[in-house]
Structure 1
Amino acid sequence: MMPKARVLVTGADGFIGSHLCEFLVEQGYQVKAFTMYNSFGSNGWLDSTDPEISKQIEFFAGDVRDPNGVRTAMQGVDVVLHLAALIAIPYSYHSPDSYIDTNIKGTLNVVQAARDLGVRVVHTSTSEVYGTAQYVPIDEEHPLVGQSPYSASKIGADQIALSFYRSFELPVTVIRPFNTYGPRQSARAVIPTIISQLANGVEQIKLGALTPTRDFNFVRDTVSGFEKAIGADAAVGEVVNLGSSFEISIGDTAQAIADAMGKQVEILLDEQRLRPANSEVERLFAANGKAKALLDWQPEFGGLDGFKRGLKITAEWFQQPVNLGRYKSDIYNL
């Protein structure tokens, strides 16, 4: 049996990155985790992973904004799965400069090093680059509209990555996940916001706009899409959506979570959670045919039934005291 690729995961300490590292180890890959350097010696969510998996991961602490550290981390690997990014939309309103540095310059550092070292790149995009759906389902040809500094920075990062494919024939695939959710997600996101408030016994939960729709992707489906992209030669030079091809409103999502947790819920509008009017993405609904064709990928947790199964798993994780204790559900997390 051929040994599997040696893979570097940037953003490995985060929500999706930590799940991805664990999945890759389980699938037999050699995994190097690029985590954000900090004085606490923390590897983020990978600190809580199973020790049997953790001991198979090589850790590298650095910062994607530093080209020298990125180049050092990428030596000796076959593929880089580039997930490191600033992703909070509200924080991008008052600190947009940091999004340019991390998301655009960080991506440039990755593809520059990859070109020099002969490393394949799987770059992470986001459904936010589409803005509010101009037609549905949203395929990869949909116009790109930067409705927040965050989404604009990701459009820039995507184009930097693709430019290196077009200019230098660097093998680049852009994976564009829709709204990933699951255990470990930040309370900045709507599903953990709802679950953590309900799990703490709150009966009146605070949310922003309830009418926008989202295409939620359970984290297991997202990471399986990344794994399939590693060896998918047909996807080189391509942008590929990962989505459930299913949409649900934020209000209906809150009710589905309450049902999954056996709770009654009353929703209160929290003005500070509202995006500026022209910045709110009103509708996201993915076309995923390209992922099926190029990656042989389809969601295990697709549709309403799959969404409810994913919510149940997520709620059970958050309700464990050791996990719930990590979250501050009484404050608004930017």
Structure 2
Amino acid sequence: MQLKHKRVLVTGADGFIGSHLTEHLVHLGADVRAFVYYNSNNSWGWLDDSDEHVRKSIKVVAGDIRDPFGVKEAMRDCDVVLHLAALIAIPYSYHSPATYVETNVNGTLNVVQAARDLGIEKVVHTSTSEVYGTARFVPITEEHPLQGQSPYSATKIGADQIAQSYFLSFDTPVATIRPFNTYGPRQSARAVIPTIISQIAAGAKEVRLGATHPTRDFNFVRDTVRGFVAIAESEKTVGEVINVSSNYEISIGETAELIAERMGRDVSFVADDNRLRPSNSEVERLWGANDKARRLTGWVPQYADREGFARGLSETIDWFSDPSNLRRYKTGIYNI
């Protein structure tokens, strides 16, 4: 399957990854329908900043992923659905876990049930590396046990299982993409890389962080977007769960030092207890294998290893350092 000329719905199109994906699909020649979260300001989220060609090329549908009727109407007459709409902030999931169940689990149920009813050709459901919890072995393959170490990750495990159950029970053509630690322009400051960059760019001499010893497998947003397309287009991915990762591990502390070095700033890093996860909830190690993605789709990361990570960081730093972008972020406030 080629997505060019296909009618593609992107849920969560107004968000960080979703907006990049929507723009990429337009440039591929897909007929894109963007499902954004309804609001009284008629904001399209990050799509408001897309270039005129993108904004004129897409059909925007405002709604709520928790509403089965609106979701089904948005999906009507579409060929492919790329389902990204979710609540993703881990600290906020400690505060309001029920909203995560409603959005992540019930929202996914609404998508796959509508896909079954409407005969959608392909659904790509978005998972997260957080479902693995602290690595029991590395690199983490898709066979790694699932561990719900936060309400967020527990709801994503539930959503993944709902999606897979529709493939097993009803032959609904669902594939699950499992991205590792995506970063890049437009990301919320609740994520570690934007919070480091935005504090430094705003002139902070002391950068406030949570735990710095855990390791992550950071995946630049362009690679994640390419992963969505590769999984959607491959006939081999139906019924499969597929990691999209850089296969490169680095600690948060080392990441912070690398960012400061590339920004040319002499800063100190200060532990902030408010930013720490509960000890049993912290995911200590993430490092993902990407062999399955390569085998089934031909996808390989273009921002892999330390050199690729440094290139991705530079692009991210450049975006956040633009005053027109930085002013969107409240750098002096911890964003849960």
Distance in structure 2 (CA, Å) of the matches to 1:86 and 1:217: 19
How much has 1:4 moved relative to structure 2? 2.7
- C-alpha separation in 1, matches of 2:211 and 2:272: 9
Structure-2 separation of matches of 1:184 and 1:97: 27
Q: Does 1:306 align with 2:308?
A: yes
Deviations 1:5-35 (A, max 9, x none): 1100000000000000000001111100000
- Structure 2: distance between partners of 1:84 and 1:100: 13
Q: Contact (CA 8 Å) 2:3, 2:29: kept in 1 or not?
A: no
- Aligned mates of 2:205, 2:93 — CA distance in 1: 30
**Distance in 1 (alpha carbons) for counterparts of 2:183 and 2:310:** 12
Residue 185 (structure 1) aligns with = 187
Looking at structure 2, the residues matched to 289 and 58 of structure 1 have their Cα atoms a distance apart, in angstroms, of: 35
SS at match of 2:331: coil
Counterpart residue identity of residue 113, structure 1: A
Q: How many residues align?
A: 334
Q: Deviations over 1:17-64 (max 9, x none)?
A: 000000000111110000000011100000001011111011000001
Maintained 8 Å contact 2:214/2:284 = yes
SS in 2 for 1:206: strand
With normalisation by structure 2, the TM-score equals: 0.98
Alignment partner of 1:140 is 2:150: no
Distance 1:276 1:108 in 2: 30
Code of the aligned partner of 2:189: A
Structure 1 residues 287-322: Cα deviation after superposition (integer angstroms, max 9, x where no partner) = 000000111100000000000000000000001010
1:42 aligns with 2:43: yes
Choose from 231, 234, 240 the match for 2:233. 231
Q: Aligned equivalents of 1:235 and 1:3: distance in 2? A: 18
- Determine the C-alpha separation between the residues in 2 that align with 1:128 and 1:308: 23
Task: List per-residue Cα deviations over 1:85-137 (Å, max 9, x = no partner).
Answer: 00000000010000000000000000000001011210000000000000000
Counterpart CA distance in 2 for 1:255 and 1:55 is 41
| Aligned mates of 2:230, 2:300 — CA distance in 1 | 11
Matches of 2:99 and 2:20 in 1, distance apart? Answer: 25
Letter aligned with residue 192 of structure 2: V
Distance 2:283 2:215 in 1: 8
In 1, distance between residues paired with 2:8 and 2:128?
21
Question: In the aligned structure 2, how far is the partner of 1:309 from the partner of 1:9?
Answer: 28
Instruction: Kindly indicate whether residue 29 of structure 2 is the aligned counterpart of residue 28 of structure 1.
Output: yes
TM-score by length of 1: 0.99
The counterpart of 1:173, out of the listed 150, 172, 175, is 175
Compare 226-235 and 184-193 and name the one that shifted more. 226-235
Distance in 1 between residues matched to 2:38 and 2:252, nearest whole Å? 35
The answer to whether the 8 A contact 2:4-2:28 is kept is: no
Q: Give yes or no for contact 2:236–2:296 (8 Å, CA) kept in 1.
A: yes
SS in 2 for 1:123: strand
Asked if the contact 2:135–2:284 (Cα under 8 Å) also holds between the matched residues in 1, the reply is: yes
Q: Which residue of 1 aligns with 2:102?
A: 101
CA RMSD of aligned residues (A): 0.9
Contact 2:3 2:30 in 1 (8 A): no
Poorly superposed stretches of 4+, deviation over 2 Å = 1-4
Is 1:242 the counterpart of 2:252 in the alignment? no
In 1, Cα distance between the equivalents of 2:130 and 2:4?
36
Please state whether the residue corresponding to 1:55 is helix, strand or coil: helix
Q: What amino acid is aligned across from residue 178 of structure 1 in structure 2?
A: F
Task: Could you tell me which runs of 5 or more consecutive residues in structure 2 were left unpaired when the two chains were aligned.
Answer: none
Unaligned runs of at least 5 residues, structure 1: none
Paired with 1:96 and 1:11, the residues of 2 have a C-alpha distance of 19
Counterpart-to-counterpart distance in 2, 1:45 and 1:221: 19
- Asked if residue 295 in structure 1 is aligned to residue 292 in structure 2, the reply is no
